[in-house]
Amino acid sequence: AVRAGKGLRSVMMERIGQDIVVTLTVPSDLFSLLPSPLQNGGLINVYPLLFQQGINEFQSIAIMQRSELCKMQNLINRQSLGDLVVYKNLLHQFKSQLGYTDEDINAHEHGIQILKESVDDEAKNPFAKHVDILASAACCVRMMKGGRGTNCKSAKDRTSMSVTLEQA
C-alpha cells in the first residue's frame, strides 16, 4: 500500500505484517488537499501486476530452443490478467464515486477482451513473440487510471525497445 506523509524523507518503506507500506512525502499545500482519512495515515491499496514478454534476441533464442520459460511467461500473464479483471470489477462497483461513465466501463471491458485474446494467443503458441500483450496491458492499465512501468534487467536496451514500441 501507499501512504501520503509529511517530513524530511521523500520515501520511506516499512513492513506491517505481510504487507509493505511505502510512504511518499508530499508538499504541505498538496497534503492539505488530501481527504482527511489519507491525512491521518490511511492507506491507498496498490494492485501490482506483471505482464511479461521478451522482445529482444534472448527471447528469440528461448523460442528457438523451445524453452519452458516461454510457457512460464504465459502463466505469469494469465495470472496477471485474472488479477486485472478482479481490479476492473472493483472499479466498476464504485464507478459513480470514481466518476466512470458507461462509456468508460465499455472501454474497460473491450480493453480486457483484447488483452485476453492476446494472452490466449500466447497460450496457443508459446514459442512466438507476442508483443501485443505489452501494448494491450499498457492500454488497459492507463484506461483504469493505473500507474505502470516498463523495465528489464539492465534498464537499457530492452526497456528502450519496449518504450519505443509503446510510443509507436
Catalytic residues: 152
Grid cell locating 33: 488537499
Grid cell locating 159: 526497456
Residue whose entry in the numeric block shows the C-alpha cell 492507463:
142
Interatomic CA distance for residues 54 and 69, integer angstroms = 10
The Cα diameter of the chain in Å comes to: 57
Interatomic CA distance for residues 26 and 2, integer angstroms = 12
Grid cell locating 16: 506491517
